[in-house]
Amino acid sequence: MQTQPPRRGLLIILSSPSGAGKSTLSKRLMARDETVQFSISATTRAPRPGEQDGREYYFKTREDFQELVRTNGMLEHAEVFGNLYGSPRAPVEEAINAGRDVLFDVDWQGGQQIRNSALRDAVVSVFILPPSIAELDRRLRARAQDSEEVIAKRMAESRSEISHWDAYDYVLVNRDIDACAAELDAILTAERLRRDRQPGLSDFVQGLNREFEGRLE
Ligand SMILES: Nc1ncnc2c1ncn2[C@@H]1O[C@H](COP(=O)(O)OP(=O)(O)OP(=O)(O)O)[C@@H](O)[C@H]1O
Ligand SMILES: Nc1nc2c(ncn2[C@@H]2O[C@H](COP(=O)(O)O)[C@@H](O)[C@H]2O)c(=O)[nH]1
Protein backbone atom coordinates (compact mmCIF):
# COMPACT_ATOMS: atom_id res chain seq x y z
CA MET A 1 0.00 0.00 0.00
CA GLN A 2 1.15 3.53 -0.84
CA THR A 3 2.41 5.41 2.24
CA GLN A 4 1.11 8.94 2.69
CA PRO A 5 3.00 11.87 4.20
CA PRO A 6 1.79 12.63 7.75
CA ARG A 7 -0.95 15.25 7.86
CA ARG A 8 0.33 18.68 8.92
CA GLY A 9 -1.69 21.27 10.79
CA LEU A 10 -2.73 24.61 9.30
CA LEU A 11 -1.48 28.01 10.48
CA ILE A 12 -4.57 30.22 10.65
CA ILE A 13 -3.62 33.90 10.85
CA LEU A 14 -6.08 36.57 12.02
CA SER A 15 -5.09 40.22 11.58
CA SER A 16 -7.07 43.44 11.85
CA PRO A 17 -6.85 46.95 13.22
CA SER A 18 -6.98 46.92 17.02
CA GLY A 19 -10.56 46.49 18.22
CA ALA A 20 -12.06 44.92 15.07
CA GLY A 21 -12.68 41.64 16.91
CA LYS A 22 -9.76 39.17 16.49
CA SER A 23 -9.66 38.11 20.15
CA THR A 24 -13.44 37.70 20.29
CA LEU A 25 -13.42 35.58 17.12
CA SER A 26 -10.44 33.54 18.35
CA LYS A 27 -12.17 32.75 21.65
CA ARG A 28 -15.32 31.67 19.82
CA LEU A 29 -13.36 29.45 17.46
CA MET A 30 -11.43 27.84 20.32
CA ALA A 31 -14.67 27.26 22.27
CA ARG A 32 -16.24 25.48 19.29
CA ASP A 33 -13.21 23.50 18.22
CA GLU A 34 -10.92 22.24 20.93
CA THR A 35 -8.50 20.72 18.40
CA VAL A 36 -7.31 24.22 17.41
CA GLN A 37 -4.31 25.42 19.42
CA PHE A 38 -3.94 29.15 20.09
CA SER A 39 -0.43 30.51 19.62
CA ILE A 40 0.17 32.36 22.88
CA SER A 41 2.32 35.35 21.99
CA ALA A 42 5.11 36.87 24.04
CA THR A 43 4.90 40.61 24.64
CA THR A 44 6.59 43.43 26.49
CA ARG A 45 3.20 45.13 26.99
CA ALA A 46 2.02 45.36 30.61
CA PRO A 47 -0.78 42.90 31.52
CA ARG A 48 -4.33 44.29 31.47
CA PRO A 49 -6.51 43.65 34.53
CA GLY A 50 -7.46 39.97 34.52
CA GLU A 51 -4.77 38.86 32.04
CA GLN A 52 -2.61 35.97 33.23
CA ASP A 53 0.95 35.15 32.24
CA GLY A 54 0.87 32.03 30.02
CA ARG A 55 -2.86 32.36 29.23
CA GLU A 56 -3.38 35.56 27.15
CA TYR A 57 0.35 36.26 26.71
CA TYR A 58 3.79 35.45 28.05
CA PHE A 59 4.71 38.80 29.60
CA LYS A 60 8.42 39.53 29.14
CA THR A 61 10.97 42.22 29.79
CA ARG A 62 12.50 43.75 26.65
CA GLU A 63 15.77 41.97 27.47
CA ASP A 64 14.15 38.53 27.77
CA PHE A 65 12.12 39.13 24.60
CA GLN A 66 15.20 40.16 22.63
CA GLU A 67 17.09 37.10 23.90
CA LEU A 68 14.31 34.89 22.50
CA VAL A 69 14.61 36.65 19.14
CA ARG A 70 18.42 36.36 19.19
CA THR A 71 18.26 32.59 19.82
CA ASN A 72 15.78 32.07 16.93
CA GLY A 73 12.99 31.30 19.39
CA MET A 74 10.42 33.43 17.54
CA LEU A 75 8.59 32.42 14.37
CA GLU A 76 7.84 36.13 13.86
CA HIS A 77 8.07 39.29 15.91
CA ALA A 78 7.25 42.99 15.53
CA GLU A 79 6.91 46.26 17.34
CA VAL A 80 3.22 47.20 17.59
CA PHE A 81 1.95 50.35 19.33
CA GLY A 82 5.35 50.80 20.99
CA ASN A 83 5.54 47.27 22.47
CA LEU A 84 7.23 44.10 21.21
CA TYR A 85 5.07 41.10 20.30
CA GLY A 86 6.11 37.72 18.91
CA SER A 87 4.99 34.13 18.32
CA PRO A 88 7.20 31.53 20.05
CA ARG A 89 8.40 29.05 17.42
CA ALA A 90 8.63 25.72 19.31
CA PRO A 91 4.95 25.22 20.28
CA VAL A 92 3.86 26.06 16.72
CA GLU A 93 6.23 23.57 15.08
CA GLU A 94 5.34 20.87 17.61
CA ALA A 95 1.59 21.36 17.03
CA ILE A 96 1.58 21.43 13.24
CA ASN A 97 3.94 18.44 13.03
CA ALA A 98 1.43 16.56 15.22
CA GLY A 99 -1.36 17.54 12.76
CA ARG A 100 -2.93 20.22 14.99
CA ASP A 101 -4.09 23.55 13.52
CA VAL A 102 -2.64 26.68 15.15
CA LEU A 103 -4.47 30.02 15.41
CA PHE A 104 -2.53 33.32 15.43
CA ASP A 105 -3.75 36.80 16.46
CA VAL A 106 -0.98 38.97 14.98
CA ASP A 107 -0.59 42.32 13.24
CA TRP A 108 0.16 42.65 9.50
CA GLN A 109 3.93 42.45 10.07
CA GLY A 110 3.55 39.11 11.86
CA GLY A 111 1.19 37.89 9.14
CA GLN A 112 3.69 38.82 6.45
CA GLN A 113 6.59 37.09 8.26
CA ILE A 114 4.62 33.86 8.78
CA ARG A 115 3.50 33.89 5.13
CA ASN A 116 7.17 34.21 4.11
CA SER A 117 8.43 31.55 6.56
CA ALA A 118 9.31 27.92 5.82
CA LEU A 119 5.77 27.04 6.95
CA ARG A 120 4.15 29.17 4.21
CA ASP A 121 2.43 26.22 2.48
CA ALA A 122 0.31 25.59 5.57
CA VAL A 123 -0.83 29.21 6.03
CA VAL A 124 -4.45 30.38 5.79
CA SER A 125 -4.66 34.14 6.40
CA VAL A 126 -7.80 36.09 7.30
CA PHE A 127 -8.10 39.87 7.63
CA ILE A 128 -10.94 41.26 9.75
CA LEU A 129 -12.36 44.68 8.84
CA PRO A 130 -14.59 46.77 11.11
CA PRO A 131 -17.94 47.87 9.63
CA SER A 132 -16.87 51.53 10.01
CA ILE A 133 -14.16 53.62 11.66
CA ALA A 134 -16.74 55.08 14.06
CA GLU A 135 -17.67 51.54 15.16
CA LEU A 136 -13.98 50.62 15.59
CA ASP A 137 -13.56 53.62 17.89
CA ARG A 138 -16.73 52.66 19.77
CA ARG A 139 -15.51 49.06 20.27
CA LEU A 140 -12.13 50.16 21.60
CA ARG A 141 -13.85 52.44 24.11
CA ALA A 142 -16.53 49.88 25.01
CA ARG A 143 -13.80 47.32 25.77
CA ALA A 144 -12.69 49.71 28.51
CA GLN A 145 -9.21 48.19 28.75
CA ASP A 146 -6.99 50.97 27.48
CA SER A 147 -6.27 54.58 28.40
CA GLU A 148 -7.42 57.44 26.17
CA GLU A 149 -3.83 57.84 24.99
CA VAL A 150 -3.53 54.15 24.04
CA ILE A 151 -6.91 54.23 22.23
CA ALA A 152 -5.83 57.33 20.28
CA LYS A 153 -2.58 55.61 19.27
CA ARG A 154 -4.43 52.47 18.12
CA MET A 155 -6.98 54.49 16.14
CA ALA A 156 -4.17 56.47 14.49
CA GLU A 157 -2.47 53.21 13.42
CA SER A 158 -5.68 51.58 12.17
CA ARG A 159 -5.51 53.12 8.70
CA SER A 160 -2.03 51.75 8.12
CA GLU A 161 -3.05 48.26 9.41
CA ILE A 162 -6.14 48.25 7.14
CA SER A 163 -3.95 49.11 4.11
CA HIS A 164 -2.59 45.51 4.25
CA TRP A 165 -5.98 43.81 3.81
CA ASP A 166 -5.30 42.70 0.24
CA ALA A 167 -2.33 40.49 1.17
CA TYR A 168 -4.67 38.06 2.97
CA ASP A 169 -6.41 34.96 1.58
CA TYR A 170 -9.79 35.97 3.03
CA VAL A 171 -11.29 39.26 4.19
CA LEU A 172 -14.29 39.36 6.56
CA VAL A 173 -16.27 42.39 7.71
CA ASN A 174 -17.14 41.91 11.37
CA ARG A 175 -20.58 43.51 11.55
CA ASP A 176 -22.43 40.84 13.47
CA ILE A 177 -20.21 38.61 15.60
CA ASP A 178 -22.31 35.45 15.07
CA ALA A 179 -22.29 35.88 11.29
CA CYS A 180 -18.56 36.61 11.22
CA ALA A 181 -17.77 33.61 13.45
CA ALA A 182 -19.83 31.41 11.10
CA GLU A 183 -17.84 32.70 8.10
CA LEU A 184 -14.58 31.92 9.88
CA ASP A 185 -15.87 28.41 10.60
CA ALA A 186 -16.71 27.97 6.92
CA ILE A 187 -13.18 29.03 5.90
CA LEU A 188 -11.63 26.55 8.30
CA THR A 189 -13.88 23.72 7.11
CA ALA A 190 -13.06 24.41 3.44
CA GLU A 191 -9.31 24.75 4.07
CA ARG A 192 -9.24 21.49 6.04
CA LEU A 193 -11.01 19.69 3.18
CA ARG A 194 -8.42 21.09 0.77
CA ARG A 195 -5.52 20.06 3.04
CA ASP A 196 -6.90 16.55 3.57
CA ARG A 197 -7.77 16.04 -0.08
CA GLN A 198 -4.56 14.27 -1.09
CA PRO A 199 -3.56 12.06 1.85
CA GLY A 200 -7.03 11.09 2.96
CA LEU A 201 -8.80 10.69 -0.33
CA SER A 202 -6.28 8.81 -2.45
CA ASP A 203 -6.58 5.84 -0.04
CA PHE A 204 -10.35 6.18 -0.11
CA VAL A 205 -10.50 6.28 -3.94
CA GLN A 206 -8.18 3.24 -4.10
CA GLY A 207 -10.74 1.46 -1.91
CA LEU A 208 -13.53 2.45 -4.33
CA ASN A 209 -11.44 1.09 -7.23
CA ARG A 210 -10.90 -2.23 -5.44
CA GLU A 211 -14.65 -2.39 -4.92
CA PHE A 212 -15.19 -1.83 -8.69
CA GLU A 213 -12.70 -4.61 -9.46
CA GLY A 214 -14.51 -6.95 -7.05
CA ARG A 215 -17.76 -6.33 -8.92
CA LEU A 216 -16.12 -7.12 -12.27
CA GLU A 217 -14.73 -10.48 -11.12
N1 LIG B 1 -19.38 42.17 15.86
C2 LIG B 1 -19.21 42.87 16.98
N3 LIG B 1 -20.17 43.73 17.39
C4 LIG B 1 -20.03 44.45 18.51
N5 LIG B 1 -18.95 44.40 19.33
C6 LIG B 1 -17.95 43.57 18.98
C7 LIG B 1 -18.02 42.77 17.80
N8 LIG B 1 -16.89 42.04 17.71
C9 LIG B 1 -16.13 42.37 18.78
N10 LIG B 1 -16.78 43.29 19.56
C11 LIG B 1 -16.29 43.93 20.80
O12 LIG B 1 -15.31 44.89 20.41
C13 LIG B 1 -14.28 44.96 21.39
C14 LIG B 1 -12.93 44.71 20.72
O15 LIG B 1 -12.89 43.34 20.29
P16 LIG B 1 -11.56 42.46 20.43
O17 LIG B 1 -10.91 42.69 21.76
O18 LIG B 1 -11.93 41.08 20.07
O19 LIG B 1 -10.67 43.14 19.28
P20 LIG B 1 -9.19 42.79 18.78
O21 LIG B 1 -9.19 42.90 17.31
O22 LIG B 1 -8.75 41.50 19.36
O23 LIG B 1 -8.36 43.97 19.42
P24 LIG B 1 -6.76 44.06 19.73
O25 LIG B 1 -6.08 44.01 18.42
O26 LIG B 1 -6.62 45.37 20.41
O27 LIG B 1 -6.39 42.92 20.62
C28 LIG B 1 -14.61 43.95 22.47
O29 LIG B 1 -15.24 44.62 23.56
C30 LIG B 1 -15.60 43.01 21.78
O31 LIG B 1 -16.52 42.44 22.68
N1 LIG C 1 3.31 40.56 15.11
C2 LIG C 1 2.62 40.20 16.21
N3 LIG C 1 1.55 40.93 16.60
C4 LIG C 1 0.88 40.51 17.68
C5 LIG C 1 1.24 39.36 18.40
N6 LIG C 1 0.38 39.21 19.44
C7 LIG C 1 -0.50 40.21 19.34
N8 LIG C 1 -0.20 41.01 18.29
C9 LIG C 1 -0.92 42.21 17.84
O10 LIG C 1 -0.67 43.28 18.71
C11 LIG C 1 -1.79 44.16 18.67
C12 LIG C 1 -2.17 44.59 20.06
O13 LIG C 1 -2.57 43.51 20.86
P14 LIG C 1 -3.13 43.78 22.33
O15 LIG C 1 -3.31 42.44 22.97
O16 LIG C 1 -2.11 44.63 23.02
O17 LIG C 1 -4.44 44.50 22.15
C18 LIG C 1 -2.91 43.41 17.95
O19 LIG C 1 -3.00 43.94 16.63
C20 LIG C 1 -2.42 42.00 17.89
O21 LIG C 1 -2.86 41.32 16.74
C22 LIG C 1 2.37 38.62 17.94
O23 LIG C 1 2.75 37.57 18.50
N24 LIG C 1 3.01 39.07 16.87
Please give the single-letter amino acid code of residue 191: E
The pLDDT value recorded for residue 216 is 84
For residue range 13-61, list pLDDT tens digits in order. Answer: 999 999 999 999 999 999 999 999 999 999 999 999 999 999 999 999 9
The CATH number of domain 11-198 is 3.40.50.2300: no
Burial pattern 159-185, b for ≥16 Cβ within 10 A else e, equals eebbebeeebeeebebeeeeebbebbe
Closest listed residue to residue 12, CA positions, set 119, 118, 97, 161: 119
pLDDT at 32: 95
Q: What is the DSSP letter of 56?
A: T
The residue to mutate among 137, 139, 176, having the most atoms of ligand 1 within 8 angstroms of its beta carbon, is 139
Strand 83-88 to 41-43 pairing: antiparallel
| pLDDT grade for 201, boundaries at 50, 70 and 90 | confident
CB of 38 within 6 A of ligand 2: the answer is: no
Provide the pLDDT confidence category of residue 217 given band limits of 50, 70 and 90.
Answer: confident
24 Cα nearest atom in ligand 1: 18
Residue 174, ligand 1, Cβ within 6 A: yes
Residue 20 Cβ inside 6 Å of ligand 1? The answer reads yes
Q: 164 C-alpha vs ligand 2 centroid, how far in Å?
A: 15
Mean pLDDT of the chain: 94
Q: Which mutation among 13, 14, 23 tests ligand 1's pocket best, with the greatest number of atoms within 8 A of CB?
A: 23
pLDDT of residue 26: 97
**Confidence tier at 3 by pLDDT (50, 70, 90):** low
Q: From the CA of 155, how far away is ligand 2's center (Å)?
A: 15
Q: Which parts are annotated binding residues for ATP?
A: 16-23
pLDDT tens, residue by residue, 144-179: 988 999 999 999 999 999 999 999 999 999 999 999
Residue 4 in this model has a pLDDT that exceeds 80: no
Q: Does the pLDDT at position 205 exceed 70?
A: yes
All structural domains of the chain with their residue ranges: 11-198
Question: 53: which DSSP letter?
Answer: B
ipTM beyond cut 0.85: yes
Query: Minimum mean pLDDT among 85-89, 171-175, 183-187, 198-202: which range?
Result: 198-202
For residue 5, the model assigns a pLDDT of: 61
pLDDT of 199: 63
100 alpha carbon – ligand 1 mean position (Å): 26
**Residue 183 pLDDT > 90:** yes
Residue 101's pLDDT band, with cuts at 50, 70 and 90, is very high
Helices (H), the chain: 22-32, 62-70, 89-97, 108-115, 133-143, 148-162, 177-216
